[in-house]
Amino acid sequence: MKVGDLVKFVASQAPARHRRDGGHRTRGIVVSFDNDNDPVVLWLGSGWNGYREANFRNHIVVLSEA
């Protein structure tokens, strides 16, 4: 996983409180990495448009590599 990769949130891997939002985070772009080397994703579309958020690696999957 690297900066520029297109990713998707995988709700089945996330805690229950995050699963409700999984349907809205269907596409995002990795823009950086935090101090724990987790990807920071810029989410696109529905309610999350333009929201940057650090995500655990096992909560997202790469759809297309940069």
Query: Could you tell me if residue 45 is inside a domain?
Result: yes
Q: Is the pLDDT of residue 40 over 50?
A: yes
Residue 59 Ramachandran class (φ > 0 left, ψ -120 to 50 alpha, else beta): alpha
- Give the whole-angstrom CA distance, residue 5 versus residue 64: 6
pTM over 0.85: no
Q: Is the pLDDT of residue 63 over 80?
A: yes
Backbone phi and psi for residue 54, each to the nearest 5 degrees, phi listed first = -75, 140
Write the pLDDT tens digit of every residue in 13-33: 555 555 455 456 778 999 999
Please state the domain count of the chain.
1
Query: Could you tell me if residue 1 is inside a domain?
Result: no
Query: Could you tell me if residue 28 is inside a domain?
Result: yes
- In percent, the amount of the chain with pLDDT more than 90 equals 38
Give the domain extent around 49: 6-64
